[in-house]
Amino acid sequence: MSTELRDIATKLALEAGELIATRRAGHVEVANTKSSDVDVVTAVDQESEQLLFSRLQELRPGDGFVGEEGKAQSSSTGVTWVVDPIDGTVNFLYNIPHYAVSIAAVTGEPSPGSWQVEAGVVYNPATTELFHAARGQGAYLGQRRLQIGTPPPMNLALLATGFAYSQAMRVEQVRVLSQIIGEIRDIRRMGTASLDFAAVAAGRVDIYFERTLSPWDHAAGELLVTEAGGVIQGIRDLPHGREGIFAGHPTLVTQLKARISEVGGDTLLEDVPGWGLE
């Protein structure tokens, strides 16, 4: 089943990617804001989600759907599609060629920690790089199988991370990073969570850590990492998800998790004043 779902996800990611690339060649502007003034949505995000939703209804009637821009459908088949129609919207808006369509098919309760990801596709229409995985079948960049190698020691590890839309939360995240940055090779803040997971799977960074993500930001990407031999973990003993998510080689994840905890980077979000606000 997982390969069939992966093939559908691939086909639809390419279709949505074509739409996004066409729209990006024209004029793009902010249509609305969400959690804060810097959490933006464009008409293209909504158009891409509408395309994915209606195509999935044709191809897989009865499957559930959870999309960032609000489309939702409960599942009668046990399969739910968890979709970010444009991940990295700020990059898209600024025409930085680093954004993606992220499509996952999950079974079980469609929430992190409960779901089983069956298939995941992350497609960057600006570069045409296509990352894909089916559960038990490996992770690929195009035709190339991805495998996470032996990790470097922490002082040579390249860390990908991202910051929240909330200004208060970003200040707290920089405080945590300021404690860590002298102990690693460097950081990369590339602005697209799904492509950060893909980068871990492809060995372009050694480890990834982020907080305040939503399910559609990581559903597809987490399968890329686990199918490439890495692990996904949450902060403390929590399931991975909004509170925090680590991705990478198990040795590095264990080390970074301990260090983040030592510098207070695992304070629960509800205890970080203003974490969800502008």
Nearest-approach distance from CB 96 to ligand 2AM, in angstroms = 12
**Chain CA centroid to CA 139, Å:** 15
Judged by CB under 6 A, the chain residues 69 through 128 that form the site for ligand 2AM are 84, 87-89
Near ligand 2AM by CB under 6 A: residue from 79, 164, 223, 253: 164
Residue 10 near residue 139 (C-beta atoms within 8 A)? no
Nearest-approach distance from CB 202 to ligand 2AM, in angstroms = 17
Distance between CA 69 and CA 84 in Å, rounded?
8
Instruction: By CB under 6 A, tell whether 214 contacts ligand 2AM.
Output: yes
Pick the closer one to ligand 2AM by CB: 2 or 122: 122
Instruction: By CB under 6 A, tell whether 205 contacts ligand 2AM.
Output: no
Exposure pattern of 13-33 as b/e (b: 16+ CB <10 Å)?
A: bebbbebbeebbeeebeeeee
Residue 118 contacts which entry, ligand 2AM, Ca ion, none (Cβ below 5-8 A, type-dependent):
none
Distance between CA 204 and CA 150 in Å, rounded?
13
Q: Which amino acid is at 249?
A: H
Q: Give the binding range for ligand 2AM (CB under 6 A) out of 54-62, 158-166, 171-179, 251-259.
A: 158-166
DSSP 22-90: HHHTS---EEEE-SSTTSEEEHHHHHHHHHHHHHHHHHSTT-EEEETTS-EE--SSSEEEEEEEEESHH
Near ligand 2AM by CB under 6 A: residue from 67, 120, 125, 162: 162
Q: Tokens 């993500």 identify what position?
A: 213
Nearest-approach distance from CB 192 to ligand 2AM, in angstroms = 5
Q: Give the binding range for ligand 2AM (CB under 6 A) out of 46-54, 126-134, 137-145, 211-219.
A: 211-219
Q: Which amino acid is at 271?
A: D
E-state strands within 173-262? 186-188, 207-210, 231-233, 245-248
Residue 212 contacts which entry, ligand 2AM, Ca ion, none (Cβ below 5-8 A, type-dependent):
ligand 2AM
Size of the site for ligand 2AM (CB under 6 A): 15
Residue 54 to residues 75, 83, 254: CA-CA distances in angstroms? 15, 13, 41
| All residues at 6 or more sequence positions from 261 whose CB lies less than 8 Å from its CB, including other chains | 235, 236
Residue 173 contacts which entry, Ca ion, ligand 2AM, none (Cβ below 5-8 A, type-dependent):
none
Nearest-approach distance from CB 192 to Ca ion, in angstroms = 9
Distance between CA 177 and CA 190 in Å, rounded?
15
Which residues bind to Ca ion, rule: CB under 5 A? 68, 84, 89
Instruction: By CB under 6 A, tell whether 199 contacts ligand 2AM.
Output: no
Residue 121 contacts which entry, ligand 2AM, Ca ion, none (Cβ below 5-8 A, type-dependent):
none
The site for ligand 2AM (CB under 6 A) is made up of 68, 84, 87-89, 162, 164-165, 191-193, 212-214, 217
